[in-house]
Structure 1
């Protein structure tokens, strides 16, 4: 099952299939950085890799979401250009905490991937991006100028890990808990 709107998801960089977006260190305080981390089977460490996408305004391509860490309840905020952190200390009405999610299908070697970009409501803050297009653990996830580059894309698919089985798909991206 693909991205259908509000729900709990795992955010997975398009170019790094074995990593996900993680509220770094499982910090239970404001200001936690978002970094890539190896995917793990359901465990306490995995809890900070689950994100609630909460619809707060609009619909369709104009829908705006808060991206809330399920473990902490804090949401991803583009605090400045090239920076994102989790914070509860800003109003959910602040545009730096709001994101749009747009379909951006991308041709791979053997198939077309149903990928998405996650873009800040504040144009200068750009899109969620894996810094430097890296595909290694502990790489920062930041907001960079909008380019729709591969490091700014996520694939959106149904999450089967939480059900105790893995998807047969080799694809990667944002996975939804059903």
Structure 2
């Protein structure tokens, strides 16, 4: 009987040690997440890395483009209104699907002419994203348009001035000046 009590006590002690170690790992992961968030903020405040390699930095102007929205309207870089938010999304991107509801909710409270969703049609079926975004944003289905803005990863959210000059870039809508809650 005492042997059984000793085994139960040992297993219980091992479980407690495992729990303490797991909580330590979770705490450490949270610290790393905060550090990575701070790094994102620092890079965004500095305008991101230099424009070399195709990525636009704050103040750079997007390349020329001429596209047609899902509603049939013609859009060019020079037709972008001041403060336009441009979201680059891809149907095969898990992060894009995770951020889609928050972006659509944010966009529903905005002037539709100042919200542009660019859905990459080179990978996956864009039908679901288009259906979600079309009521709240101008939707463009064109994978090549990411080149005009130097987008290298999905999702990417940009805020641009009239004429396509980059004002801000972020991996989430809430990190843009336009996306921050009032």
* Same-fold call, TM cutoff 0.5: no
TM-score (norm 2): 0.26
TM-score (norm 1): 0.27
Q: Which has the higher strand share?
A: 1
User: Which has the larger Rg?
Assistant: 2
